[in-house]
Amino acid sequence: MGEAAPNSLVSNRTTSRGRLFLFACITACITLLIIETILQVAYYALAGGEFLFRRTGLPIFASDPVRCYGVMPNLEYEHNTNEFRTDYYTNSLGFRTGADHRELIVPKPEDVYRILLMGPSFAFGWGVDYEEIFPTLLEEQLTAGDKRVEFMNMGTPAQGVAHQLCWVNRNARRFDPDLVLQVSYGTAIPNIATKCPEDLPCPFVPNGQLHGELPTFKRKAIAKIRDSAIVFYGYYVYQSLVPSSKQKDMGKELHAATDPPLDPSDYTELANRYVSYLDNMERVLGPDTPILF
């Protein structure tokens, strides 16, 4: 009988600690939920009525039998975020245009100097109105003798060079481009694909959204966490506090088909790859079509 009291006291302390821990967990969850709700509402207001989860996972893509995927043909999509507001339009080829969905005339009119623009989102003009992207500005400001300049903008967000070379090898000749402008980025002299590979790795395009890997339950859960406003704005804080030189490269272009990266000092091999790229374009378009990078 005399030992019952100490045992009871230990049991009561354990119960109290368990209740305190449970109370702390519930309080933390409620606090995080309140913060998340406030930040989500703030983003919705700043983005003009657009939700955070639609910021990057846009349903604007379509599968393509030649280059795996491209932007949807005849697209009309309003893209609003807390940073920009813009509209995307494409023609029947999935090439970016203005609201008129301008088609490319085949055969090419005699008064047209046609430029094939290749590259990822920088060429497409992610987050920028069509009237303000550099191909449109060049069309307005340049002429080629007595010919008007016309861009066929094959720029596709997250797409590497190899995929677009497959399209060029199959389709470019009939559009008779007078010049090819290849947009690339990364290092001072970025690596480049040299050909269309026989086994082209393709991403998944469920519901018009682009996924580098099959969207399993685990990956969907991770994507939902990334859509959290706490995570989103937390990264802004991280960027402001950590020097840019120490930040991890956040680019996620789907470059699995691009040749392996090179040592930056291996200029000879890098030059050989660019020569191979040029040789491929010459075989397809002929030796008189200039290539600019």
Tens digit of pLDDT for each residue in 27-78? 999 998 888 888 888 877 877 777 776 666 789 999 999 999 999 999 999 9
Q: Is omega for the bond preceding 59 within 30 degrees of 0, making it cis? A: no
Predicted local confidence at residue 214, as pLDDT: 62
Element (H, E) at 97: strand 96-97
Residue spans of alpha helices (H) in the chain: 4-46, 121-124, 134-141, 161-171, 217-226, 229-241, 267-285
pLDDT reported for residue 178: 97
Helix (H/G/I), strand (E/B), else coil: 80: strand
Q: Tokens 């002299």, residue?
A: 189
pTM of the model: 0.75
* Distance (Å, whole) CA 277 – CA 182: 11
Confidence of residue 167 (pLDDT cuts 50, 70, 90): very high
The Cα 274–Cα 277 span in angstroms is: 5
With bands split at pLDDT 50, 70 and 90, how would you rate the model's confidence at 4? low
pLDDT digits (tens, 9 = 90+) for 264-276: 678 888 889 999 9
Provide the pLDDT confidence category of residue 227 given band limits of 50, 70 and 90. confident
> If pLDDT is split at 50, 70 and 90, which confidence band does 250 have?
very low
Q: What is the model's pLDDT at position 278? A: 96
